Amino acid sequence: MLARIKTGPSRVVVWHVDRLYRRPRELEDLIDLVESHPIRIEAVMGAAFDLNTHEGRLMARQLVAMAAYESGHKADRIRRANRQKAERGDWHGAPKFGYGLGGVVIPEQAVVVREMADRFLAGQSLRSITKWLNEESGVPSPRADKGTLGVWHATTVKSILVSAPALEELVSGAVIARLAVTELPTPSPDSSGVVGDAMARIVAARARLEDLARDYGAGALSRAEFHAARVAAQGAIHDAELALGKVNRASALKGLPIGDEAALRYAWAEEWSIPQKRAILTSLIDTLVVNPDPNCGSRFRPERVDLLFKA
């Protein structure tokens, strides 16, 4: 706009003067230009100022100073509010795919997200996962209501699996390093009973989580009640998976080139199927947490990852 003013326009029309300049420095640049190219500024809403006069410049400077103060004050309020939300554990921003308002897990979407993560960590590309979503999952894209006809795109998948390539490389490298020093456990003679009991506990706990999500969404549970019950159910699943992992570990790792890192890397990249990689990950990894980092936003840093292997 400033460049066009230099070519000769004598009048500038704006909706409101605060749309013309927001910071004192911007106003001073405009005043400097007006001194050599006299113009009149008209505002559709609010008063206009004649920057060709001392009185007009005084009023404009006062207005922009107040606007800059209020803008900074508003930014401080927003930062404080966001920090308080984070400290309370409140949901921030629009819900992501897999969650409803308030961060409530949507069970049918959560299943899809877990499958997407499993497939990616097992080596599938974003394009392959997108194809699976469109052709086999039966789940519409989260942007289905925005004119996409429910079709998944690789960019949408990538936005859900943020930093997935770097995370996949980190996890696969850690798993291969673990296999290079792992010894196969001896199967327990009464493993069938352990498996049946563990699976029953997992099924019951997952059903409980679905019931909790529905009850919380319907307002039957308070936030504190929902959180306490969810933690208990998740703990039950975790304990059952640990028991199941100890039994299944030997079968999942059977036949692998344990101790040969070069052979393990080749097999991971060229030979092992998605289900086999998934079984290996399940048998070895206890928990994987990507911690928040206020200094890097959504950018991925390896030090943000806590990867805990099973004993």
Residue 207's pLDDT band, with cuts at 50, 70 and 90, is confident
Distance, in Å, from the CA atom of 162 to the CA atom of 84, rounded to the nearest integer, reads 25
What is the model's pLDDT at position 126?
86
Average pLDDT over residues 263-272: 84
Least confident piece of the model among 40-44, 143-147, 176-180, 294-298:
294-298
Q: What is the pTM of this model?
A: 0.39
Distance, in Å, from the CA atom of 172 to the CA atom of 120, rounded to the nearest integer, reads 11
- For residue 30, which amino acid is it? L
Least confident piece of the model among 91-105, 128-142, 152-166:
91-105
Residue 56 three-state SS: helix
Average pLDDT over residues 41-62: 75
Higher pLDDT, residue 286 or 195: 286
Higher pLDDT, residue 125 or 194: 125
Residues 54-87: tens digit of each pLDDT: 887 787 788 778 877 887 888 888 888 877 776 6
Contact partners, residue 104, CB within 8 Å, separation at least 6: 213, 216, 217
Q: How many CB atoms lie within 10 A of CB 129?
A: 24
Residues 90-119: tens digit of each pLDDT: 666 677 777 777 667 788 788 888 888 878
Contact partners, residue 165, CB within 8 Å, separation at least 6: none
